[in-house]
Amino acid sequence: MNLKLKALTKSIWVFHAATSPCNNCDIEVLDLITPRYDVERFGIVLVGSVRHADALLVTGVPNYKTKERLKKLYSQAPKPCLVVAIGGCACGRVMFRDSYNSPCAVDEIVPVDVYIPGCPPKPEAMIAGIAKLIQKVRGQK
Amino acid sequence: MIILFNYLIFPGFLFSACIGLIAGWIDRKVTARIQWRVGPPWYQNFVDIVKLLGKETIIPQGAAKLTFLLSPFLGLLSAVLVSTILGVTARLPLESFAGDLIVVLYLLIIPAIAIIIGASSSRNPLASVGASREMKLVLGYELPFILSIIVVIIKSAGTIQIGSILNHQINFGSNLASWSGILAFMVTIFCMQAKLGFVPFDMSEAEQEIMAGVFIEYSGLPLAIFKLTKAILLYTMPLLLIILFWGSNLTPLALIGKYTALLVIIILIKNTNPRLRIDQALRFFWGPVTILAVIAVILAILGY
């Protein structure tokens, strides 16, 4: 396993890509940087610009407008870039599946690395998901 | 050979980058403890730099490619040069050359100028907003900063050589032990906070409003170079203040103690203040701070 990926897993800078969510997942994401969970212990920081991002946190069901935005955001992020789908909507569009303004799911637009289901997922579930993502990047089972 | 060693390894690049990154970790850790969190491990900043070196470097479409890629190196080179001059002088005060204080003052502006050049060549509207804020901030803090350096020059009998300023302090006690010295020291602490881009004066890279502002288009290697420049400045600026104002005793232990004290002051200011708007910052620097610096100059001329 090379140094590049090892350093990547030790300091994941995340960018928050909200593709029309109901804001519930976003609040739970912000819970992760509060004193109770404090993911800065693992080097995870929220960044403002997508050019600094190592992981995109996607929440919500993409509609016709945010679909294009998400595609652009992914192409603007420097590679290697990981994508995390947070919440039931981003994982599988749950009840918005047949809605008139839901053209496709997140994983039909960008390659998703880890799915974290829940409505909204608990912060513990998100930390578990990120731990699995790190294991996947390092090539462990 | 010795010059190259000085520049690249001991008081220069490698040493100051390591000290600066560790100081940056202390900053993050203390901030975390103040907010009742745990905070990152000590190697976090090193890992960040290594990770950024391994990332893809994106050049935005329509940007001035050469300027965009070269400006980070401009800032890093001058910051390393300052740390080399100061490090060598702090160790051997007799080795400095005449007028190196002026050289250091000029070199300390170049990292800010490099940031401005890089941001304006990136063809991003938010980056240009950040660049204009940075420019105004430089105009704001340079005036009181140079005034308080003049206080030091007056106090040490008109010399503009860092080595003889140090010698003067070793013979007659440090500049901080006088009224004008205390006032000028306070002024330089405010200016240092602005030069480092820390919280009350970080409007040029405000993450919440203009998304990292001047650094918005940077990724990979150039961003890592900018982070290194900031880290080296975090080592250099307190060292400059110690040499100019507090230089009566520069044994390694005393130097570490004084550096830590200044670092604590920086972190405390950073954690107890909200971000100022750019007009508030300008009013602050050209109003009370400049008046304080002028009073310090007058006191120094009168001999207090």
Q: What is the pLDDT of residues B139-180, one digit of tens each?
A: 889 999 999 999 888 888 778 888 888 888 888 777 787 888
Residue B12 confidence (pLDDT) above 70: yes
- The radius of gyration computed from the CA coordinates of chain B, to the nearest angstrom, equals 19
- Collapsed DSSP state (helix, strand, coil) of residue A85: strand
The CA distance from B37 to the nearest CA of chain A, in Å, is 5
Whether the bond between A80 and the residue before it is cis, its omega within 30 degrees of 0, is yes
pLDDT digits (tens, 9 = 90+) for B174-214: 778 788 888 889 999 999 989 888 888 888 777 777 777 78
Say what percent of chain A tops pLDDT 70: 98
Cβ–Cβ under 8 Å, residues B166 and B93: yes
The answer, for A65 touching chain B at a CB cutoff of 8 Å, is no
pTM of the model: 0.88
pLDDT of residue B294: 92
Q: Between the CA of residue B264 and those of A23, B186, B190, B238, B240, what are the distances in Å?
A: 38, 14, 14, 11, 16
Rounded to a whole number of angstroms, the distance from the CA of A82 to the nearest CA of chain B is 12
Q: What is the pLDDT of residues A34-86, one digit of tens each?
A: 888 888 888 888 888 888 888 888 998 888 888 888 898 898 888 888 899 99
Taking only the tens place, the pLDDT of each residue in B107-127 is 989 999 999 998 888 888 888
Domains annotated for chain A, with CATH where assigned, are 11-138 (3.40.50.12280)
Q: Is A92 on the interface with B (CB under 8 A)?
A: no
Average pLDDT over residues B75-100: 84
Other CB atoms closer than 10 Å to residue B287's CB: what's the count? 10
Compute the radius of gyration of chain A from its Cα atoms: 14
Q: Does B207 touch chain A (CB under 8 A)?
A: yes
More confident residue, B7 or A57: A57
If pLDDT is split at 50, 70 and 90, which confidence band does A140 have? low
Q: Which structural domain, as residue segments, surrounds residue B199?
A: 2-302
CA angle A4, A140, A38 (to 5 degrees): 70
Domain count, chain B: 1
Report the alpha-carbon distance of residue B33 to residue B265 in Å, rounded.
Answer: 16
Determine whether the interchain pair B47/A43 forms a contact, defined as Cβ–Cβ distance below 8 Å. yes
CB contact under 8 A, A38 and B216: no
Which pLDDT score is estimated for A3?
78
CA distance B62 to B155: 51
| Residue corresponding to tokens 């090539």 | A139
The answer on pLDDT for A141 being more than 60 is no
- d(CA B107, CA B96) in angstroms, rounded, equals 16
Q: In a 3-state reduction of DSSP, which class is residue B89?
A: helix
Interface pTM (ipTM) of the complex?
0.83
The answer for residues whose C-beta is within 8 angstroms of residue B68's C-beta and 6 or more apart is B59, B60, B118, B121, B122, B217, B222
The 3-class secondary structure across B100-114, one letter per residue, is HHHHHHHHHHHHHHH
Q: Does B18 touch chain A (CB under 8 A)?
A: no
Which letter does DSSP use for residue B275 in this model?
P
* Cβ atoms B76, B221 nearer than 8 A: no
Length reported for chain A: 141
Q: Is B94 a residue whose pLDDT tops 80?
A: no
**Chain B: closest CA distance from residue A96 (Å):** 31
Q: Cβ A7–B36 below 8 Å, yes or no? A: no
- Distance from the Cα of A91 to chain B's closest Cα (Å) equals 27
